[in-house]
Amino acid sequence: MRNKLFMEGLGTFLLCVASMMSPSPINVAAILCALVYLGGPISGAQYNPAVTLALRLRGRFGWRSMASFIAIQCAAALLAALFVGLISVHDNAHTKDAVDALSEPAFGDFWAASAVSLLGVFFLALVILMVATSRLTSGNSYFGVAIALAYLGLVGTFTEFKPDLNPAYSLASALQGCAIALFGDDGNAGAFGKEFVYLAKMSPRVFADIMVELMGGALAAFTFRRLFPEDR
């Protein structure tokens, strides 16, 4: 179990860092593909609490194991946000945007974004369940490519909505502004305070987004079991 948790933590950390640092989804998809092949034989290469929930509901492991995986994924997301904050240069424009956003409703585009997140996580998790856990595709060597292409296609299709597709990344992304301000070269406590106020305002939205993403994973597991009741 120790090796599984280590791999989940490492993979989630690297995936979150790549997602926060790279301007191109192609780079993230490439790293995701490599991480899937790296961690697949060890932990199942989940790196995503919504996928972990889908695998649990699929019957791959127990609730205690699921809780352990999700805990290490969230911890890795926090470390990823701190790491990005440490190596990034604080941008005053980001803080200004955060202050300006305080006057806007936190749930302004929630329904459209939630529909995209639900569909995206559902499709991604269903692909993972099919290519990585089904007897119909057992022993295939293309599972990593299929998962990476599913991610790349979803992000490219819904570019306007900037879907996260991963609760761990949603957490890391929410903490990114505070982390960058915290480690800024100018030691600007005021910037950190403004970023923290923005995070506090947006935290209900972040929580709601994460719940929607988890629902997408659960829906994928339910769909898989309905389609393939004999595949346990």
3-state SS, 22-56, equals: CCCHHHHHHHHHHHHHHHHHHHCCCCCHHHHHHHH
Segment-wise mean pLDDT, segments of 10 residues, the chain, 232 residues: 92 95 91 94 93 92 92 96 83 56 66 93 96 88 94 92 91 86 64 74 88 96 90 70
**25-43 helix and 143-157 helix, angle to the nearest 10 degrees:** 150
Distance between CA atoms of residues 85 and 176, nearest Å: 6
Distance between CA atoms of residues 87 and 43, nearest Å: 29
CATH for the 2-227 domain, from 1.10.3720.10, 3.30.420.10, 1.10.645.10, 1.20.1080.10? 1.20.1080.10
- Per residue in 8-25, pLDDT tens? 999 999 999 999 998 889
Residue ranges of domains in the chain: 2-227
Rounded alpha-carbon distances, angstroms, from residue 43 to 26, 48, 92: 24, 12, 40
Q: Are 213 and 166 in contact (CB under 8 A)?
A: yes
Radius of gyration of the chain from its Cα atoms, rounded to whole angstroms: 18
- Per residue in 175-205, pLDDT tens? 888 888 777 655 556 677 777 777 777 788 8
